[in-house]
Amino acid sequence: MSSYILRPRIPRRAFVLGSAATVVGLVLVVIGLVQNWAILAIIVLAALLAVGLLTLLMVAYSMVNHRIHIDLDAKGYRVYGPGMDRRGTWAKVTRVAVTPDGSRLMIASGPVKRTYISCPKGGDDPAMQALIKEISAHLPEHSRR
143 pLDDT band, cuts 50/70/90, is low
Whether the pLDDT of residue 83 is over 60: the answer is yes
Domain ranges across the chain: 8-65, 69-143
Q: What is the CATH number that goes with domain 69-143? A: 2.30.29.30
Span 123-133, pLDDT tens digits: 888 999 999 99
User: 134 with 144: CB under 8 angstroms?
Assistant: no
pLDDT at 141: 57
Whether the pLDDT of residue 86 is over 60: the answer is yes
**Dihedral angle computed from the Cα positions of residues 128, 130, 135 and 136, in that order, rounded to the nearest 10 degrees:** 110
What pTM, to 2 d.p., does this model score? Answer: 0.74
